[in-house]
Amino acid sequence: MASLQTLVRFEIYLETEKRYSQHTLLAYQTDLAQFLSFAEINNEQDLQEVNHQLIRGWMVDLLEQGITPRSVSRKLSCLRSFFGWIKRQGDRADNPMLKIRGPRVEKRLPQFIKQTEFTEERIDPLFGNDFDGIRDRLMLELFYQTGIRLSELLGLKELDVSSTHIKVLGKRNKERIIPIGEELFERISFYRLHKPIGQDSQNVLFVKRDGRKLSPKFVYRKINTYLGSVTNAQKKSPHVLRHTFATHMLNNGAGLETLKELLGHANLSATQVYTHNSFAQINSIYSQAHPRGRKN
């Protein structure tokens, strides 16, 4: 597979022009490798002969293996990008993906934590007064008060933090500014007073007790454990706190355009999914408050 020059050029395109993250690049590489293996593509000529019937056969095979429709759709999206790029390069006259319709995917609403569950009175007792407790409390608040992604938190540098905002490097290296309140900055300042000296502590904001930067698994486990103490939500992850930030912002009057900028979404459609949660909140309030809305 690696000998295919078309594939090598496509990966360079994704990395340099699309500026995809290493995580996304790995997903594309994995999906393409699976398809090329299924289709027994060993050279450039084999790639030219790929048609929609072969792609549809791969889709059916994946579903028969028990791969979820959502995962199959993601893999087809990878092929759609790949063959669309090949056609734009002039290496093929047609795009076999134009005749492919993916499996029907049930839309899932983002899971979030209720405001009544996520109060300071319930959260504060979970953390100790040592460095680990101070750092972990700050991580939880940053996720909830800014809606940043796990990768963005890990990438925060000391120079990215000011008294009024943080500077975040998001997907495709797109930079955005997120405002922070006085209380959150005080937490950051208090954390800095206790931050240990180590090989990474002069650069990144968050470190372990030995001064080394954190890993994604380390942060995920910490957040998962703390959220397990305050909520019965099925998912308990940093990304759930991002959903919680967005939902609570909308429920308390934030506009979609503002939320889009804060979350770093490329388009408004990605942000609009949170309106379903907000409508559910409004509907619940209506049912309880309006005399004709209540059931006897």
Residues with active-site annotation: 149, 171, 239, 242, 265, 274
Q: How far is CA 145 from CA 7, 9, 243, 285, in A?
A: 41, 40, 11, 24
State the DSSP H helix or E strand holding residue 60, giving kind and residue range, or none if neither: helix 52-64
Report the C-alpha gap between 209 and 207 in whole angstroms.
7
Report the C-alpha gap between 8 and 2 in whole angstroms.
7
Instruction: Enumerate the H helices of 124-263 as residue ranges.
Output: 131-146, 150-155, 182-194, 216-228, 238-251, 256-263
Report the C-alpha gap between 113 and 37 in whole angstroms.
42
Report the C-alpha gap between 240 and 111 in whole angstroms.
6
> In a 3-state reduction of DSSP, which class is residue 76?
helix
Residues in the chain: 296
Report the C-alpha gap between 250 and 276 in whole angstroms.
10
Residue 281 burial (CB < 10 Å; 0-12/13-18/19+)? Answer: middle
Q: Which DSSP string do the residues of 227-267 spell out, in sequence order? A: HHTT---S--SHHHHHHHHHHHHHHTT--HHHHHHHHT-SS
Q: How far is CA 234 from CA 41, 44, 222, 242, 296, in A?
A: 41, 46, 16, 15, 31
Query: Crossing angle for the helix pair 238-251 and 256-263, nearest 10 degrees?
Result: 160
